[in-house]
Structures are given as C-alpha cells and as structure tokens.
Amino acid sequence: MSKPTSHNRISAPEIRARKGTDPIVALTAYSALTARLVDAHADIILVGDSLAMVEHGMSSTLGATLDLMILHGKSVMRASTRALVVVDLPFGSYEAGPKEAFESAARVLQETGCSAVKIEGGARMAETIDFLTGRGIPVMAHVGLTPQAVMTLGGFKIQGRNESDWPRIEADAAAVADAGAFAVVLEGTLEPLAERITNVLSVPTIGIGASSKCDGQVLVLEDMLGFSERVPRFVRRFGDLGQAADEAIRSYAAAVKDRSFPGEAEVYRSKVKNAAG
C-alpha cells in the first residue's frame, strides 16, 4: 500500500498512482462516529449524497443540499486523519456550468477541509471537470448508473445490459478521465463492460455494483454493516449490526420497564453516613 503523505492523509495523486496495483478500499461515512471507524481501514472516505436517504430518510439523493453535504463533511473531517475524504457535489450545485461547479466545490473544500469532490456524469461533465482540475480542485468522476439522474434513467437500472450502450458508457469514462479526474466510480455497470473500461483507463476505477476487476471498491457503510433492511444485489453484508442494535435496544426497553435498570452499579449514593446510623 502507498504510504500516506507527510501530513498523514492520503492524497488524490497517491490514489491515482495506485492504478493497477493493490486494490483501493473506499467506504462512505457521514458522521464523526463512522468516520473514526472507517479511517483506520479505508484509503478513501466518501461523504456521498446517499446520506440523504441513509441519514435523513429521503426517497432519493436529490434532496441533499450543499449545506447538508458541508455539514456532514465537517463531521467526517474532524474524526479522520488518514483517508482521502471526498465529498459529493449534490444535485443542483454544479450542472449549470463550470463556474457554478467551481463556486460549489471551492466552498466545500474551504468549509470542510476535505481534499476532493465527486461529480456525476460522463462526457457532458468533461468541460466542468477540466475547469475544476485546472484550478486546483481534485475531482473524482462517477459514470454508469448515476443516482442523481435516476429520473431520466427510468430508475436504478444496471447499465450496459445492451451492448449497443457500451460505446456511450466507455466514451463517458474516457472523457472524464481525459478531463483530469483522478479516479472514476463505475456504478451499476455490467461486469464485462466495467472490466473493459478498467483495462483502458489510465486512472483507477472504483466499482460499486460493477466488477472485482475494478481498481477498487466502494460501498455504503450502513449497507455492508447490516443496518439497511433492503440492499441492492451487489451489496455483501459483512456484519449484522442492525440486528445486534435491535436486540440491545429491546433489552434496554425491557430493563427500564421491569425497573432492573438502573441497578446498584449505575446509581450514585451519598458517601456521608447517616448520623443516626
């Protein structure tokens, strides 16, 4: 594994240099609590706009705002010291053009202290990515299934099932890489297509529902820990903390109701003896 820079945080150029070497580990985190856990093991912490659904109960990622992303980005940065922290630019904060994207990205970097932003979209975003990277803002790109475009995609549909779509998706990945993205997230992409893209691009691909042949992988932390009731097929549950939490909360509720909590060990007693005793 590449060593972190002297300031102990992995940089975007270091991630880019990992192309074709040891796989890149990425996970989402939205809070100081989860960031502290993830930071010890991940190369990249993604403060994804999926927090709109996971943390705030929204029906899609479209409800995430720039203020919300910055709030969670600050929390993650306070608790992490090693991983490269990437914050999503949310829907409506960059699509109007490079100038809007720069203003949003600059604000995110300045207010959170993170090292990079992520932008969804392929060839249509190449000009914006070139504009940002040319002005010192590292960008992670995101192609394939792009949740912010779910309404135009007709839902969360796997991309590349029809080989006639492959040239467009390949062109999207090539365009964002050529524009200066230091890595490209491939989401919900048919495995053979994801492998082809990975083999061609000069920058790392980070798969989520793509292929083990990608240069790295990312998952939503709450999904892989078993907190989410329903998860996509591509998610593997590496733990079942949701059930463990439910059992702990049930036990707490029962202990409160039968007055066994708090017990003798959890209450404060006066150290002064009763004078009459």
Q: Which residues are catalytic?
A: 187
Check whether 212 is labelled as a binding-site residue.
Answer: no
Q: Which residues are paired to 16 by β-bridges?
A: none
Measured CA angle at 137 (ends 136, 138), to 5 deg: 115
- Radius of gyration, CA atoms only, the chain: 22
Please give the C-alpha separations between residue 61 and each of 53, 66, 134, 181, 226, in angstroms, as whole numbers. Answer: 6, 12, 28, 22, 20
**Residue given tokens 């998706």 in the structure block:** 169
Chain length of the chain: 277
215 is in an annotated binding site: no
178 known member of a binding site: no
What is the CB-side half-sphere exposure of residue 180 using CA atoms within 13 A?
A: 17
Which H or E run includes 88?
strand 84-88
Report yes or no: 13 and 139 within 8 Å, Cβ to Cβ. no
49 is in an annotated binding site: yes
Q: Give the position of tokens 């979209």.
A: 121
Q: How far apart are CA 179 and CA 128, in angstroms?
A: 8
User: Position of tokens 């580990």?
Assistant: 25
Q: Is 118 annotated as a binding residue?
A: yes
Q: Residues at the annotated binding site for 3-methyl-2-oxobutanoate?
A: 49-50, 88, 118
